Amino acid sequence: MTQQENLPALELSRRIRSGDLSVVESTRRSLAEVAQRNPTLNAFVEVWSDAALTRAAELDHKRVSGESTGPLFGVPIGLKSNLCVTGQLCTCASKMLSNYRPTYSATVCQRLLDADAILLGRTNMDEYAMGSGTEYSIYGPTRNPHFASGPNAVLEGYSPGGSSGGSAAAVASGMVPLALGSDTGGSIRQPAAFCGVYGLKPTYGRVSRFGLVAYASSLDQIGPIATTPEDLELLFQVIQGSDRLDATSLSREKVQQVEATLGHKSLKQLRVGIIREHAEQDLAPTVRRALEETKEYLKSVGATLVEVSLPKQAQAIATYYLIASCEAASNLSRYDGMHFGHRAQVPEKNATLEQVIAASRGEGFGAEVKRRIMLGTYALSHGYAEQYYQQATRMRQAIRQDFAAAFAEVDVLLGPTTPAPAFPIGAHRQDPIAMYLTDQFTVSANLAGLPAISVPIELTNFQPDESRLPVAVQFHAPPCGESRLFAVANALHERNQSAKLGAEA
Ligand code: GLN
C-alpha cells in the first residue's frame, strides 16, 4: 500500500464492512507499511503481528457470519508503551519495566477491543512519559516522518516531539490510521503538532486512567491521535466514558449535565478568544503565520474574535514542572526492585535492603526520570513543601480561575500548540530547560483539567527560506467542551484541504 492509499479509520472501516477489503488484508497492509517505514522512523517498538492477524481472521469470520460490528471494526491501532494490555510487555521505554507484562488491560484497551479494533503493537515514548522529544527511551529516538528536505534539513532528522512521539509518527507516516497517547503536559498535542496530525487531550476524568502507568496522576489523561478530526472524535467516543476502576472518572450524568449547559453553537455563533499573553511570546515565523491564517479563516466563516487575558500564563510552566515532578516522585517510589521493577544484582553478600533498592533505582531509571524524582522529592521534603509544592498548588488554582474568567466571555480559546516547529533530534540534549519550554503553551490545559486540541495548519504559501515542517494551532474549551473542539477542527480541516489543493494547483 502506498502512502496515498492510506485511508482514515472511518473510510477503512466502511470499506471493510462493505466487503471491499478483508480485515486480514488490511492488517497485512498495515504490517507491511510498518516493515517498510519503521526501520527508519522507530515509531513502533513492538509489533504484535501474530496476535493481530489471528484477531483479524476472527473479525472477518464475525462479519461473514453476520454478527454486528463495532465502531472501529478492523481498524489497526498503535498504543503508547505505557498502556497495559494483558500479557504484552508494558515497558514505559524504561529499563525499570523492561520485563513487565501486566495481567490486566487498561480500560481504554479493553474498549478498543470491544469496538472491534486491532491492537497492532506498542509505540515509542519518553521514559515514563517524561520528555518532549521521544529521545529519552531505552529504544533510542523516534524520527519525525517529515524529514523536511530543503534549506532546513538536518542529518539525523527531526524529533517527532514527545512523549507520545511514537504514536504521532506512526499515524503521520501512515503505518496506522489511529493511535493512543497520554498527555500530562502536552505529550499528545506537541507531537501531533510536530508531525502534522490531530491530537486531543480530553477533559480530566472523561477517559479512564485505569491501566495507564502513572506519571502525574492529577494531570495524566489518555487521548487520541489521528489524521482527520472525524477519526479523532471516533476514537475519543470509543475510549471515553465513566469507569468504576478509576476514582477520578466523571459519571455519565455529570458529563451530560455539563454538556447541556454548554449547549450547541454554530461556527457563526462562536466567540473565539485570542490569548493576549501568547501574542507577546517569541514564536517562530511559520507558527505566527499559522495563527494569523487561522484567525482570518475563522473570521471569514463568521466567528467573532475576542482578545482575552490569561494573566498567570507566564507561571504555568514552572507550576507544571513542580507539581508534575512531585507527583512523579511519589508515583515512582513503588519501583524499588522489591515491590516492582528491575532488581540490581548487588555483589556484596550481606547487602542491605537499602543498598539493593538504591542500586536497582540507579540502574533502572534514566537521567531525566532521576532529575524529576530528585526535584519532586526535594520540593516535597520537610520545610520546603510549603515554599514549593503548596505555592505551586495555589498558582494552579489561580490558573484555573483565569480560564474560568476567560470562558465567561468566549466559547473556545485559540493559541499556538508549540512556540516553534519540530527541532532537530538531540538539539536540547545539553539543556533540559530548553526542552521544558517547548511545552509552555500546552501545560495549562492539564493544570486546569481542560480539553485541548492540536490542529495542523496548512500554510497557503511558503517563503523560499522557510521551514517546511508542520505547524499547528491549539484550541482550549471549557470542561466537557470536546464537541466544540471537534467542530472547529472539522472546519479547519476543510480549509486545510483547499489550501493543499491551492498549493498543488
Ligand atoms: N514534556 C512534558 C514533561 O516532560 C509533558 C509530558 C507529558 O505530557 N507526558 O513532563
Mean predicted confidence (pLDDT) in 73-83: 98
- 376 burial type by CB count under 10 A (0-12 exposed, 13-18 middle, 19+ buried): buried
Closest atom of ligand 1 to 187 CA is 8
pLDDT at residue number 213: 98
Q: How confident is the model at residue 437 (pLDDT cuts 50, 70, 90)?
A: confident
**pLDDT > 90 in the chain, percent:** 87
Among 62-66, 276-280, 469-473, the range scoring the smallest mean pLDDT is: 276-280
pLDDT at residue number 505: 63
Q: How far apart are CA 173 and CA 323, in angstroms?
A: 34
Q: Residue 266, preceding bond cis, omega within 30 degrees?
A: no
What nine digits make up the cell of 296? 482570518
Cα of 399 from ligand 1 centre, angstroms: 18
Number of Cβ within a 10 Å radius of residue 214: 18
Q: Is 453 helix (H, G, I), strand (E, B) or coil?
A: strand
Is residue 468 predicted with pLDDT exceeding 90? no
Contact 485, 477 (CB under 8 A): yes
Supply the mean pLDDT for the chain: 94
**pLDDT tens digit sequence for 392-414:** 999 999 999 999 999 999 999 99
Mean predicted confidence (pLDDT) in 50-61: 98
pLDDT at residue number 196: 97
**pLDDT tens digit sequence for 287-339:** 999 999 999 999 999 999 999 999 999 999 999 999 999 999 999 999 999 99
Q: Look at the domain 3-255 and name its fold.
A: Amidase signature (AS) enzymes (3.90.1300)
Is residue 348 predicted with pLDDT exceeding 90? no
Phi, psi of 28 (to 5 degrees): -60, -40
265 is catalytic: no
Please tell me the residue having the least CA distance from ligand 1 atom 5.
185
Mean predicted confidence (pLDDT) in 67-90: 97
How would DSSP label each residue in 265-320?
--GGG-EEEEEHHHHTS---HHHHHHHHHHHHHHHHTTPEEEEE--GGGGGHHHHH
Give the binding-site residues of ligand 1, using a 6 Å CB cut-off: 129-132, 163, 182-187, 215, 324, 439
467 is catalytic: no
What nine digits make up the cell of 161? 516531539
Q: Is 108 helix (H, G, I), strand (E, B) or coil?
A: helix
Cα of 81 from ligand 1 centre, angstroms: 15
What nine digits make up the cell of 15? 470499506
Q: Name the residue of 124, 127, 132 to mutate for ligand 1: max ligand atoms within 8 A of Cβ.
A: 132
Domain ranges of the chain: 3-255, 257-319+387-504
Cα of 60 from ligand 1 centre, angstroms: 39
Give the type of residue at 46.
E
Task: Kindly indicate whether the domain formed by 257-319+387-504 is annotated with CATH number 3.60.20.10.
Answer: no
3-state DSSP of 37-63: HHHHHCCEEEECHHHHHHHHHHHHHHH
Q: Say which residues have a Cβ less than 8 Å from residue 50's Cβ, sequence separation at least 6.
A: none
DSSP H helices, 150-251, are 165-172, 189-195, 229-239
**pLDDT tens digit sequence for 160-213:** 999 999 999 999 999 999 999 999 999 999 999 999 999 999 999 999 999 999
Mean predicted confidence (pLDDT) in 91-99: 98
Catalytic residue among 163, 325, 454, 467: 163
Among all chains, which residue has been given the C-alpha cell 449547549? 263
- pTM attached to this predicted model: 0.97
Contact 360, 343 (CB under 8 A): yes
pLDDT at residue number 3: 39
Cα of 375 from ligand 1 centre, angstroms: 15
Strands 471-476, 452-457: pairing kind: antiparallel
pLDDT at residue number 1: 37
Is residue 228 predicted with pLDDT exceeding 50? yes
pLDDT at residue number 148: 65
Q: How confident is the model at residue 154 (pLDDT cuts 50, 70, 90)?
A: confident
Among all chains, which residue has been given the C-alpha cell 471494526? 73
Contact 482, 449 (CB under 8 A): no
Q: Name the residue of 82, 137, 159, 163 to mutate for ligand 1: max ligand atoms within 8 A of Cβ.
A: 163
Please choose, from the candidates 132, 59, 138, the residue with its C-alpha nearest in 3D space to the C-alpha of residue 91. 138
Cα of 404 from ligand 1 centre, angstroms: 24
pLDDT at residue number 486: 98
Mean predicted confidence (pLDDT) in 453-474: 88
Is residue 257 predicted with pLDDT exceeding 60? yes
Number of Cβ within a 10 Å radius of residue 336: 20
Catalytic residue among 187, 208, 444, 467: 187
* CA-angle at 239, arms to 234 and 245, nearest 5°: 170
Same fold, 3-255 and 257-319+387-504: yes
Is residue 59 predicted with pLDDT exceeding 90? yes
Q: Which helix (H) or strand (E) holds 181?
A: strand 178-182
Mean predicted confidence (pLDDT) in 224-243: 98
Bigger pLDDT: 446 or 501?
A: 446
105 is catalytic: no
